[in-house]
A = this chain, B = another copy of it.
Amino acid sequence: MDTKQVDPQTKGGAATIDDLITPTLLLDQGKLDRNIKRLADHVGKFGAVLRPHMKTAKSIDVARRIYPGEPGPITVSTLAEAEYFAGYGFKDITYAVGVSPAAAVRGLELSRRTGANVKFLLDTVDQADALGEAGRKTGVTPSAFIELDVDDHRGGLKPADPALIAVADRMKAAGVDLVGVLSHAGESYALNTREALVAAAENERAATVRAADILRAHGHACPIVSLGSTPTAHFAENLDGVTEVRAGVYMFFDLVQHGVGVCTLDDLAISVLATVVGAKPDKGWILVDAGWMALSRDRGTSSQKIDQGYGIVCDEKGRVYDDVIVAQASQEHGILALRPGSTEAMPDLPIGARVRILPNHACAMAAQHDFYSVVKGESPAIQARWTRMRGW
């Protein structure tokens, strides 16, 4: 017998953020909608399709802000995400992790069951063979992208690598439909000037289009030319030859993206609501009930010009306290303090006061939570409660 008590928050009884049990995740719907529109408009200008990556939001309710009508193309980071979104009618799903033999079977079974077209990613002949075998086992023709490496970030083939053609040929022999090429300029996260970001976007575009051209010259149709990262997607000034752009964190943004220069602080759509549970006035510390379990261990800004600790601290309405960050975090405790060298004074926050903490990395912070309490601007009213999925 599972006698776990029902979390009061699951009863949907919270009318304002004052009713919420802390720590908990807030999502500002106005900022979300603005961020979604901004990138859709930018990509749309070039006539390319935006295929949002759902790994950040992992929520059907967020997906419906993007696709209020018919479900459209999405990217996912796990097959559990693919299954979740297919369950809500999404059909055009790219699983953007290199395919293993077991994942090939599971993804194709999902396609067979739901009619979804799950597109896989590969960069080796072994994966082409595994996918072909999974296709014969499940009776579904597999579709896959060849993954490209445009900036030495992770996996993928360089456009000039002879393996590109070898893999494409092997896919054909194995009965795998080559739907296109796919790249991700992950190194763009380390940049912070407009020039460098524009150049990274153009490098990503040129290398990806080049690979598609090489494949076509060898008789492979390669209909989809897919690229993207949140920084390069926003700084692209030319998408000639590109058919689709992928991005995920753009929906929420975070302090890393702020440090890269893609967004303003006011664009950050999620935060953790926390309660003051102590203080050490002699050290200039205020303790809150949000530690790394609620904020995540992500310290992405530690390698940027401005280290934001475990996050920037705002008042309960979301207004930033100058120079106050989460300086340290243990599992369920965060220590608020001024940045080193600051001449500001710590705010006066008694036991029970509440703050909002902005994320270093939205994907990581959100992953620590099972739902979003949806707010709008400085209003304490909770508009909705949106659940997240998780797991693999």
Q: Which residues of A contact B (CB under 8 A)?
A: 2-5, 7-8, 21-24, 55, 77-80, 83-84, 86-88, 97-103, 106, 110, 123-124, 126-127, 130, 147, 152, 154-155, 186, 275-280, 283, 287, 289, 292-294, 296-299, 328, 330-333, 335, 350-352, 361, 363-364, 367-370, 389-392
Contact = CB atoms under 8 A, between A and B. Distances in A.
Nearest to A82: B5
Contacts of A283: 152
Copies in the complex: 2
5 contacts: A7-B391, A21-B79, A22-B392, A100-B276, A103-B275
Contacts of A103: 275, 277, 289
A283 to B, nearest CB: 8
Contact of A275 (B88, B102, B298): B102
A86 to B, nearest CB: 7
Contacts of A99: 277
Given A287-B155, A392-B23, A278 B123 contact: yes
A62 to B, nearest CB: 15
Contacts of A102: 21-22, 275, 352
A167 to B, nearest CB: 12
Nearest to A126: B351
Contacts of A98: 277-278, 287, 289, 333, 351
Contacts of A280: 155
Given A24-B392, A364-B292, A101 B351 contact: yes
A330 B333 CA distance: 25
B275 A87 contact: no
A87 B351 contact: no
A100 B7 contact: no
Contact of A7 (B55, B80, B367): B80
A74 to B, nearest CB: 15
A335 B98 CA distance: 12
Contacts of A2: 87
Question: For A24, A88, A102, A127, which residue has the most chain B Cβ atoms within 10 angstroms?
Answer: A102
A131 B248 CA distance: 44
B275 A100 contact: yes
A57 B337 CA distance: 30
Nearest to A8: B106
A363 B350 CA distance: 30
Contacts of A147: 278
A97 B278 CA distance: 9
A370 B110 CA distance: 22
Contacts of A78: 332
Nearest to A186: B330
A161 to B, nearest CB: 10
Nearest to A364: B297
Contacts of A368: 367
The 10 closest A-B pairs by CB, nearest first: A3-B87, A98-B277, A297-B297, A5-B83, A98-B278, A155-B278, A101-B352, A126-B351, A100-B275, A77-B332
A327 to B, nearest CB: 12
B100 A289 contact: yes
